[in-house]
Amino acid sequence: MGEVAIVRSEKKTGESNVELIKDRVRRGVRELQAYSVPHIDCRVKLDGNESPFTLPEEVLREVVSAASKIPYNRYPDPDAGSLRRQISKMVGFPPEGIVLGNGSDELIEMLLIAFSGGTGGVLIPVPTFSMYGIMARALELELIEVELDGDFDIDIDKTVETIESKDPDLIFLASPNNPTGNCFSKEKILKILDVSSGMVVVDEAYFDFSGLSVLPLLEKYPNLIVLRTMSKIGFASLRLGIALSGPELASELDKVRLPYNINSFTQACAEVVQKNPGFIAQNIQLIVRERDRLLRALSSMEGVEAFPSDANFVLIRVEDADGVWGGLVERGVLVRNFNSPGRLRNCLRVTAGAPEENDAFLAALKGVLSP
Ligand SMILES: Cc1ncc(COP(=O)(O)O)c(C=O)c1O
């Protein structure tokens, strides 16, 4: 075979490396803002929708024992077979329909890569979880945004109209939705499934706090994919997301999965914690109680509009979100500031933490609002 001559464009005098690199960056990536989560050290951290509870001592000991048996010089099990079978038993879903990701973030990216070969359209209701839009833009897919209605539920007429005119390859519905906190109406999700010929992804990252799932609909709708994650119930550090679908979809999705995407430690640790479901369920119950307590307290505060939540966080609107956010940080409490023009104007999102963290937040908020 003859040698291939690679002709590199000459670097022009005065052209900086930054300019050279720019030419090679995909347009979709160039136009993106970097997704940055500000890392601010605060005594009370209620900004990431994480669980406030780490592992109980006895489970931690089992994790350490399992970790000591990992052959660290070897690649992980590429299919995470044992973990997948365990998840299959727990969820009551066949292993052939389960694809695991390095967090559900990775599954979102894989879905966009694998299932955008038709119209290239991706429909999302807004506001919603930002990663759908970020990855769709990076991949230069056509992002189609439809505003949620006045109750942050799906605007079904506009959505159906858009599906009929644009025929999107993928629709992402986070239910409960982030950052609004509410579940979408089941009838509206059903309607979307009925009229869509593309994939409908129902992202149930916060399912454990709502108890509402569309999983039983998988039998009827071959274009439905359900996403779950271990991140919100105490295991954000493990990075383990779960996609549940029919076996045909799962095998297409699996083709774009990077080999060894679930590292050995995550596989071992997730197996141990899932064998001990008791403490996870107890923590979820406590978080739901705390969320409802937060919601009641916030709803009765002057100058605060609190939105109903089915998740592990509460969205609130205040008069001056930037000022309130800064005041909370000064008092050692970190929440997420969503203040931006449009539906999330002056909105802050607070994660339900441990009881003492929520007390600290409520006291700090009172202090900021009426100094
Ligand atoms: C709706 C939704 N989906 C997916 C994710 C990503 O979760 P993971 O940690 O599994 O990547 C989040 C994280 O905040 C989320 O809010």
The reply to whether ligand 1 has any atom less than 6 angstroms from the CB of 210 is no
Convert 304-337 to b/e letters by CB count within 10 Å (16 or more is b): bebbebbbbbbbbbbeebeebbebbbebebbbbb
Minimum CA distance residue for ligand 1 atom 16: 178
> Per residue in 270-317, pLDDT tens?
999 999 999 999 999 999 999 999 999 999 999 999 999 999 999 999
Report the alpha-carbon distance of residue 194 to residue 222 in Å, rounded.
11
Convert 183-195 to b/e letters by CB count within 10 Å (16 or more is b): bbeeebbebbbee
- Tell which atom from ligand 1 comes closest to the C-alpha of 129: 1
pLDDT of residue 24: 87
Residue in 35, 51, 105 to alter for ligand 1 test, most ligand atoms within 8 A of Cβ: 105
The DSSP output letter for 215 is G
Dihedral sign from CA coordinates of 90, 244, 185, 210? positive
Residue in 49, 102, 104 to alter for ligand 1 test, most ligand atoms within 8 A of Cβ: 104
The reply to whether ligand 1 has any atom less than 6 angstroms from the CB of 358 is no
Global model pTM greater than 0.75:
yes
**For residue 104, how far is its CA from the centre of ligand 1 (angstroms)?**
6
What kind and span of H or E run contains 169? none
Q: Which residue has tokens 């969320």?
A: 291
Work out the pLDDT band at 121, boundaries 50, 70, 90: very high
Minimum CA distance residue for ligand 1 atom 2: 205
Rounded (10°) CA dihedral 132, 336, 35, 78: -60
Average pLDDT, rounded, for the chain:
94
Tell me if 159 sits within 8 A of 146, measured CB to CB: yes
Beta strand pairing call for 170-174 and 142-147: unpaired
> Per residue in 84-102, pLDDT tens?
999 999 999 999 999 999 9
The reply to whether ligand 1 has any atom less than 6 angstroms from the CB of 104 is yes
Minimum CA distance residue for ligand 1 atom 3: 205
| Burial class (CB within 10 angstroms; exposed 0-12, middle 13-18, buried 19+) of 276 | middle
Minimum CA distance residue for ligand 1 atom 7: 104
Average pLDDT of the segment spanning 47-53? 96
Domains and CATH numbers, the chain: 44-54+278-369 (3.90.1150.10), 69-275 (3.40.640.10)
Say which residues have a Cβ less than 8 Å from residue 208's Cβ, sequence separation at least 6: 232, 233, 284
Report the alpha-carbon distance of residue 370 to residue 302 in Å, rounded.
9
**For residue 311, how far is its CA from the centre of ligand 1 (angstroms)?**
12
The reply to whether ligand 1 has any atom less than 6 angstroms from the CB of 102 is no
Instruction: Kindly state the tokens that stand for 303.
Output: 């100058």
Residue in 102, 178, 237 to alter for ligand 1 test, most ligand atoms within 8 A of Cβ: 178
> Per residue in 7-29, pLDDT tens?
455 556 666 777 777 788 888 88
pLDDT of residue 31: 86
The number of CA neighbours under 13 Å toward the Cβ of 282 is 8
Residue 371 has pLDDT above 90, yes or no: no
